[in-house]
Structure 1
């Protein structure tokens, strides 16, 4: 439980914005914007790993309390499905750039946006 509280405080300390590309639009050149978006993605990935850990802890506690193994396996399956969705959806977003120079930035921004949404969802169940 204490871990969840500290994790939640960590996640809440992270800036939450609607669009990673807009957050980095003042960074300067396209290269600098790309670096800014990449750093944003790294922070979100770290927070996502923490949120998944908290949700997994809660699922394990639930399974232990109920004598079942449904919560952990459901969370694992859901996470695998979500990761596949994010990869494919963000590939689609990148494809809409027609191979232009902003493709990588668009893909990273997509990963960040979907990652933030997943963090919010996981933290609802993080005990």
Structure 2
């Protein structure tokens, strides 16, 4: 049941490159808007799956009477955010300031975000 909410935020077409999913949008501006909308949905899915994983970590800490899983997950999330931001900036830099830079950065954030949702949901089980 808790997976239903996350799956609604996370489209089945998540396996494709975000820019290719938006190719029918038309212009570069429309593709940028489409990819940006995807990033919004992926961000919501990250928040939901992180909340589920955090609940599982707290439950584990309670059961084991140790406070290790929760801080480890929090550190992991903070480190992942820093990695995502740095990696996607590097992707953007590889475009040499061209007009597709913003789309590339956003598509990178979508790709890495989708992978993070998978990781967090595995933790939540």
Shorter-chain TM-score: which interval? over 0.9
| Structure 2 residue aligned with 1:104 | 102
Give runs of ≥4 in structure 1 deviating > 4 Å: none
Give the alignment partner of residue 5 of structure 2, picking from 5, 10, 13: 10
1:29 pairs, out of 27, 30, 36, with 27
After TM superposition, give the deviation of residue 11 of structure 1 in Å. Answer: 2.5
Stretch moving more, 8-17 or 93-102: 8-17
Q: CA deviation at 1:17?
A: 2.6
Question: Residue 64 of structure 1 aligns with which residue?
Answer: 62
Separation in 2, partners of 1:77, 1:22: 33
Cα shift at 1:78: 0.6
Q: Is the 8 A contact 1:63 1:71 kept in 2?
A: yes
**Secondary structure in 1 matching 2:45:** helix
For structure 2, which runs of at least 5 residues remain unmatched after alignment?
none
Provide the aligned C-alpha RMSD in A: 0.9
- Name stretches of at least 5 consecutive residues in structure 1 with no aligned partner: none
Query: C-alpha separation between the residues in 1 aligned to 2:118 and 2:107?
Result: 17
2:89 alignment partner in structure 1: 91
